[in-house]
Structure 1
Amino acid sequence: MMTTVVFVSILLLTLIIALSSRSGKEVMNVEEYLVGGRSFSGMILFFLAVGEVYSIGTMIGFPGGIYAMGPSYGIWFLAYILLAYPVGYYIAPLIWRAGKKYGAMTLPDIFKGHYAHRGLELIITLAFLIFLIPWAQLQFQGLIVALSALGFNLSPTVAVLISGALAYIYISISGVKAPAMISIVKDILMFGAIVVVGIVVVMKVGSVSHLFELVKAKGASITIDKPTDVVYTVTTSFVQAIAFNFALIVAAVMTAKSEATVKKTQRFMPLYMLMYPFLVVTAYYALVALPNLEQPNNSFIATSLALLPSWLVGLVAAGAALSGILVLSVISLSLGAVVSRNLVRNIPERSQKKWVQIFVLIYLLISMFITIYVPQLMLNIIEMAYYGFAQFVPGLLSVFFFRKMTPTGIISGVVAGTATAVLMHINHMNVFSINIGLISLIVNFIVTYAVSIGFKGNYQLVSPIAGGKRKKDTPVNGPTIALMQADESKRPS
Structure 2
Amino acid sequence: MIAAVVALVLAAAMLLALLAGRISRGGGISEFLVGGRSFPAWLIYFLAVGEVYSIGAMIGFPSGVYAEGASSAVWFMGYILLAYVLGYFIAPLVWRAGHHYDAMTIPEVFGRHFRSRGIEVVAALTMVVALIPWGQYQFIGLRTVLGAMDLRLTPLQCVVTAGVLGFLYVAVSGVRSPAFVSVLKDALMVLGVAAVGIAAVMKAGGVEEVTGAHAVPLPSVTLQGGQLTYTLTTIVFQAVVFYLAFGAAYIFPAKSEAAVKSSTVWMPLYMLMFPFLVLASYWALAEKPHLKDPNTAFIAAARALLPEWLVGFVAAGAALSGVLVLAVTALNVSGVVTRTLMRGARTDVQRRTSTLVVAGFVVVAALLTLYAAALMLTVLNLTYMLLAQLVPAWISVLWFRRTSAAGAACGMAVGVVTAIVLYVRETEFGGVNPGLVSMALNAAVLVVWTLVRPGEARGPVALLGSRVPAGDRAVPADDEAGRRPDAAVQPDAEDTAGAP
TM-score by length of 1: 0.92
Aligned residue in 2 for 1:463: 459
Aligned residue in 2 for 1:411: 409
Q: Distance in 1 between matches of 2:473 and 2:273?
A: 48
Aligned residue in 1 for 2:449: 451
Q: Distance in 2 between matches of 1:224 and 1:260?
A: 41
For residues 255-301 of structure 1, the C-alpha deviation after alignment (integer angstroms, 9 at most, x for no partner) is 11110111111111111100000000111111122221222221211
SS of equivalent residue, structure 1 residue 35: helix
Aligned residue in 2 for 1:144: 143
Distance 1:309 1:440, change over 3 A: same
Task: After TM superposition, give the deviation of residue 420 of structure 1 in Å.
Answer: 3.0
SS of equivalent residue, structure 1 residue 153: coil
For residues 44-89 of structure 1, the C-alpha deviation after alignment (integer angstroms, 9 at most, x for no partner) is 1111111111111111111111111111111111111111111111
Question: Greater CA deviation, 187-196 or 403-412?
Answer: 403-412
Is the CA contact 1:197–1:282 (under 8 Å) kept in the aligned structure 2?
yes
Give structure 1 stretches of 5+ with no counterpart. 489-493
Is 1:322 aligned with 2:320? Answer: yes
Is the CA contact 1:39–1:255 (under 8 Å) kept in the aligned structure 2?
yes
Out of 356, 359, 365, the residue aligned to residue 357 of structure 2 is: 359
Q: Distance in 2 between matches of 1:155 and 1:421?
A: 33
Task: After TM superposition, give the deviation of residue 224 of structure 1 in Å.
Answer: 2.3
Task: After TM superposition, give the deviation of residue 24 of structure 1 in Å.
Answer: 4.8
Distance 1:211 1:101, change over 3 A: same
Q: How does 1:287-298 map to 2 (within 5 A)?
A: 287-298=285-296
SS of equivalent residue, structure 2 residue 463: coil
Is the CA contact 1:101–1:483 (under 8 Å) kept in the aligned structure 2?
no
Is the CA contact 1:211–1:285 (under 8 Å) kept in the aligned structure 2?
yes
Task: After TM superposition, give the deviation of residue 460 of structure 1 in Å.
Answer: 2.3
Aligned residue in 2 for 1:190: 189
Q: How does 1:238-253 map to 2 (within 5 A)?
A: 238-253=236-251
Supply the AA of the counterpart residue of 2:19: S
Is the CA contact 1:394–1:444 (under 8 Å) kept in the aligned structure 2?
yes
Distance 1:24 1:254, change over 3 A: closer
Aligned residue in 2 for 1:285: 283
For residues 129-150 of structure 1, the C-alpha deviation after alignment (integer angstroms, 9 at most, x for no partner) is 1111222222112111112123
Q: Distance in 1 between matches of 2:457 and 2:298?
A: 53
Q: How does 1:336-375 map to 2 (within 5 A)?
A: 336-373=334-371, 375=373
Question: Greater CA deviation, 401-410 or 200-209?
Answer: 200-209
Q: Distance in 1 between matches of 2:98 and 2:493?
A: 13
Distance 1:487 1:52, change over 3 A: farther
Q: Distance in 1 between matches of 2:464 and 2:18?
A: 43
For residues 399-446 of structure 1, the C-alpha deviation after alignment (integer angstroms, 9 at most, x for no partner) is 111112121121122123233333333444322221111122222222
Supply the AA of the counterpart residue of 1:251: A
Distance 1:207 1:486, change over 3 A: farther
SS of equivalent residue, structure 2 residue 21: coil
Distance 1:223 1:485, change over 3 A: same
Aligned residue in 2 for 1:481: 488
Q: Distance in 1 between matches of 2:463 and 2:238?
A: 27
Q: How does 1:93-112 map to 2 (within 5 A)?
A: 93-112=92-111
Q: Distance in 2 between matches of 1:30 and 1:345?
A: 13
Is the CA contact 2:400–2:460 (under 8 Å) kept in the aligned structure 1?
yes
Question: Greater CA deviation, 339-348 or 221-230?
Answer: 221-230
Distance 1:122 1:379, change over 3 A: farther
Question: Greater CA deviation, 302-311 or 326-335?
Answer: 302-311
SS of equivalent residue, structure 1 residue 291: coil
Is 1:3 aligned with 2:10? Answer: no
SS of equivalent residue, structure 1 residue 22: helix
Q: How does 1:7-406 map to 2 (within 5 A)?
A: 7-24=6-23, 27-213=26-212, 215-217=213-215, 219-373=217-371, 375=373, 383-406=381-404
Q: Distance in 1 between matches of 2:188 and 2:56?
A: 15
Q: Distance in 1 between matches of 2:62 and 2:223?
A: 20
Task: After TM superposition, give the deviation of residue 375 of structure 1 in Å.
Answer: 4.6
Task: After TM superposition, give the deviation of residue 218 of structure 1 in Å.
Answer: 5.4
SS of equivalent residue, structure 1 residue 21: helix
Out of 422, 426, 429, the residue aligned to residue 427 of structure 2 is: 429
Q: Pairwise CA RMSD of aligned residues?
A: 2.5
Question: Greater CA deviation, 100-109 or 421-430?
Answer: 421-430
Question: Greater CA deviation, 420-429 or 178-187?
Answer: 420-429
Question: Greater CA deviation, 80-89 or 382-391?
Answer: 382-391
Q: Distance in 1 between matches of 2:285 and 2:378?
A: 29
Is the CA contact 1:224–1:230 (under 8 Å) kept in the aligned structure 2?
no
Supply the AA of the counterpart residue of 2:357: F
Is the CA contact 1:406–1:461 (under 8 Å) kept in the aligned structure 2?
no
Q: Distance in 2 between matches of 1:218 and 1:384?
A: 29
Aligned residue in 2 for 1:491: none
Task: After TM superposition, give the deviation of residue 482 of structure 1 in Å.
Answer: 4.3
Supply the AA of the counterpart residue of 2:157: V
Q: Distance in 1 between matches of 2:442 and 2:364?
A: 32
Is the CA contact 2:64–2:377 (under 8 Å) kept in the aligned structure 1?
no
Supply the AA of the counterpart residue of 1:197: V
Q: Distance in 2 between matches of 1:347 and 1:385?
A: 30
Distance 1:72 1:382, change over 3 A: closer
Q: Distance in 2 between matches of 1:63 and 1:83?
A: 20
Is the CA contact 1:460–1:473 (under 8 Å) kept in the aligned structure 2?
no
TM-score by length of 2: 0.90
Q: Distance in 2 between matches of 1:419 and 1:239?
A: 18
